[in-house]
Amino acid sequence: MMLSLAWLIVFGLTGGLLFRLFRLPPLLGMLLAGVLIGPQGLDLLDDALLTISGDLRKIALIIILLRAGLGLQTEVVKKIGRPALALAFIPVLLEGFTVALMAMWLFGFTFAQGGIVGFIVAAVSPAVVVPSMLVLMKQRFGEKKQLPAMALASASIDDVTAITMFSMFMSLYLASDVNVVAQIFSVPLAIALGILSGLLIGWLLMWGFKRFRIRDSKKVIILLAVGILMVASAEAIEHVVRIAALLGVMVVALVIVWQKPLLGERLSIKFDKVWVLAEVVLFVLVGAAVDIFVAQSVLLTGSVIVLSGLAVRTGGVFLATVRLDATPKEKAFLAFAFLPKATVQAAIGSLPLTAGVAGGEKILAVSVLAILISAPLGAIAIDTLSRKLLGPPNRA
């Protein structure tokens, strides 16, 4: 497996570098590198590595959530609270149900199958949004109205909503006795549980950090271990608790920032370095899991489904910002910021196939198409248009 890891890193970094030279998202190059060295390409990856790829993808998601929490400041969260919540729910729900209906029409899926693929596709990508927004925040673009921070916070809750809805539809498919109303009300319950657990664990961590002298590097390791324990322990429990753990991980990081902002800033810088490797592992392994032949078979219909969802999501962003004090250009920035898909699709796109859901191959193929279409589209739009849409940075 050591040789496989070496190939993964070499091909992943090379693919990312080549795409960066052409001003394209590096993650797309890593994804294609995974296809190249995966089982249907050069077959350079050991079966043992592919077996644990699901766990490695979850660890990458935990790192992303910790980075998102460490990148937010207390006063920013207070200022963007209500608008961020509207952006966190309206676009993802509209897109999820649009994709579900399209999949039912074009693939002949049931309502449960449609909901599964709908809310896999609907989640935005922290892997694209979080780094981009953090850069804009550091450069003080859109600082007056905190629009990059709003996008960052909303994207994180957007993912929790999408994953919770995905779990609901998986439960509907796998168990005939599931109470639909109870499952729908599990969404706010998951959010509440996540916030409470994150606050408690975050407070305990900060108590330990203050009481004992620990190097920042070790604090990063402790934070990562705590995040993994939260998610791993919750996976054996009811799915509401399982999804709450994801939000709880981000809240743990928020508690650190609220209690000691300078520590949060230092830890954020260190997690940026950890992400360099985690990003390569995540997207190369996703590419390796793609069935090329199934992807080809649903290329046209899958693209129509994904693009329809993106169009409705864009409308949802403008609907969610009707009362927001922002110019049309600034609202357009938020719409672009919510386009990219990658991380959640990479983390859970293969779960229906693993669980034996009928059409699981098509669901995975559409998940990958969502990445291939939206990641470059959103990343290029954010990179080339965000500064123009937000205006000059705040120099105060």
Mean pLDDT, consecutive 10-residue segments, the chain of 396 residues?
89 91 80 87 86 81 79 60 79 95 94 92 81 77 75 77 79 63 64 84 92 90 92 68 72 88 86 86 80 78 94 93 84 87 77 83 88 81 79 64
CA nearest 142: which of 134, 307, 256, 237? 134
Q: What Å distances lie between residue 263 and 49, 111, 117, 249, 369, CA to CA?
A: 35, 47, 39, 17, 39
Q: What Å distances lie between residue 2 and 30, 54, 295, 331, CA to CA?
A: 19, 18, 30, 47
CA nearest 285: which of 40, 10, 18, 37? 37
How confident is the model at residue 107, as a pLDDT? 92
Structural contact between residues 124 and 341, judged by C-beta atoms closer than 8 angstroms: yes
What φ, ψ does residue 60 adopt, rounded to 5°? -60, -40
How confident is the model at residue 197, as a pLDDT? 87
Does the structural domain 2-390 have CATH classification 3.30.450.40?
Answer: no
How confident is the model at residue 153, as a pLDDT? 75
How confident is the model at residue 71, as a pLDDT? 67
Q: Which secondary structure element, helix H or strand E, spans residue 308, and what is its range? A: helix 299-320
CA nearest 357: which of 182, 109, 168, 95? 109
CA nearest 129: which of 98, 74, 92, 102? 92
| The token pair that represents 229 in the structure block | 């324990």
What is d(CA 200, CA 190) in angstroms, rounded to the nearest whole number? Answer: 15
At a CB cut-off of 8 Å and minimum separation 6, what does 185 contact?
A: none
